Chain A
Amino acid sequence: MKLQLIILSTVVLALLSCSYPRNFTRDFYRENESKLEALKNDFKNLYHQKPFAVLFEEKKFNHVNFEFITDTLKRIYHFNINENSLKDSLDLYQYNTSAILKLIKEMKEIQCTWINNIEYYVNLERRNLVMMVVRNKALNKAFKGESYCTLVFFERPQLFDGRGIFIDRADKKRRRQLNGYVLRKVNDSVGYAITKVYR
């Protein structure tokens, strides 16, 4: 009997360590909505001025991989955010340095590992969305490893089915995907997926 209890407890513990809180994203979004929306809007405005993407390379959130993007060339440089080289490079490539440094600080505060503009197409027409990936302790499990919460901010409300899964506007039987993941609803224009990679 004692042995059975031990085995049962082990199995339950193992299962618990594989799953993440069911409503993690909705709770996380609700608690941080104003910060996330502000971050998205700031990024969108800055991206519109001059395209870029930011990625935090490690768990301590001190090193970034900054992508300076033009129509034909993407420069990927690696920086310690506590050193001056990031500021100098932003100045050199004529970015809005103070606003971008503020954005990076806000990303660190909310543990956003990656922010980028993503192009997608509907009926041959190009559209954009902002993709933001968040790291959170609740998503890191001993057996399953790390997972990330990917949030996507569409520019307009989307269609979704009765289970809250985003569907294709042109083909309503088809589920919309981002980087191979099915998107679920946070609200009409924000979707999420729990992903194993952050880009």
Chain B
Amino acid sequence: MILAAICEKSAAENPIVDTSFKRIDSASDNSIIETLEYIQSIKDLEQSEYWPNVKPDLLLQNLKTFTIEPFSFYEGKTTNFCAYSALTYIPLKYNPLGFAQFMVELYRTGKSRMGKDVLQPGKAVREEAGLLKYKGALDINPAGQMWFLTLADHYKGYLNRFNLHFDKGDENTFWASTNFAKFNRMLRRLFNANVIAHGADLSRPHVGDLYDYLQSRLKRGEVFLYVNNKKLYRKTHSKKIFHTPTHYVLLISISRLSNGDIELAYWDYGLKTLQQLSPGFFKNIVFGISTWVPKKVKKS
């Protein structure tokens, strides 16, 4: 399936960044080759004064990895970056060249435009990128750290009001967290498309049969689920009275098994995961559903 859309005026305002959205379903797709050629062509990337702890060679190496293996993009252990990681699937899958150009521009000038917004992170954030540690593969991914910290610094929701200013270690705190409205706002503003959202931070979506609804959404675009992570990945034996969602995943596929259970394939933590869950349990853990539908190109 090839879907295409053109991002609005930003291309004219910032000719360096490619802002088109076209889904890539094969590693041999021209977009991937173009992106790799673009990264390969950068010979003179000097150490950025804006990002003192991000080495240019490692940045370019990370960008190559993102292009070749978008599903290996990883938010890191114990961070609150899962929302940013989930939505990164869109630029990596639909516009890897635009994403690479955005990152290089951000590295060189300390600011860059994506979609409707110019992202210009503060000094504390810029100085922290490249220094995050004990986060698994994110430790060796300064480009990922730059991207996550930039998004967390720029977009704010009500949860971030508990901690508005970045201090060391804030990648694990409310400073980096994302409520459902903020997640949808980021989808709309960063990647030009229609976003259809159901659900909320404290109540489950009213969409009739959840399985049927998700099946139909997957045919239209990319589907993100806002879920209760403590139930999806059991972390304790104690039973909680109140359940809240804390994690975002990209839904890849969903099917119903002969015993009535639901088999769910989703992407998070740098891997595709497949789980079989009872319909009741599944309904219980899903709090939000966002469908990102790229706008179609108008035929002239």
Contacts and interface: CB of A to CB of B under 8 A. Distances in A.
Contacts of A73: 271-274
Chain A to chain B: the 7 pairs with minimum beta-carbon distance, closest first: A197-B235, A121-B139, A177-B134, A180-B78, A76-B275, A74-B273, A75-B274
Interface in A148-199: 148, 168, 174, 176-180, 196-199
Given A145-B238, A146-B236, A176-B134, A78 B276 contact: yes
Interface string A114-125: 000011110010
Contacts of B58: 124
Interface string B209-241: 000000000000000000000000111111000
Interface of B: 58, 71, 77-78, 133-134, 136-137, 139-140, 172, 233-238, 271-276
Contacts of B235: 197-199
Nearest to B234: A57
Nearest to B138: A121
B276 A77 contact: yes
A55 interface: yes
A22 B273 CA distance: 39
A25 interface: no
Contact of B71 (A59, A72, A121): A72
A77 B277 CA distance: 9
A89 to B, nearest CB: 11
Interface string A134-150: 01000000000110100
Interface in A105-136: 113, 118-121, 124, 126, 135
Range for the number of chain A residues in contact with chain B: 20 to 34
B233 A199 contact: yes
Interface string A57-95: 111000001000000111111100000000000000000
Nearest to B233: A199
A146 B77 CA distance: 22
A131 B233 CA distance: 16
Contacts of B271: 72-74
Contacts of A57: 234, 237
A111 B235 CA distance: 15
B158 to A, nearest CB: 24
Given A73-B271, A73-B272, A120 B134 contact: yes
Nearest to A71: B271
Contacts of A74: 271-274
A145 to B, nearest CB: 6
A176 B134 CA distance: 7
A58 B236 CA distance: 9
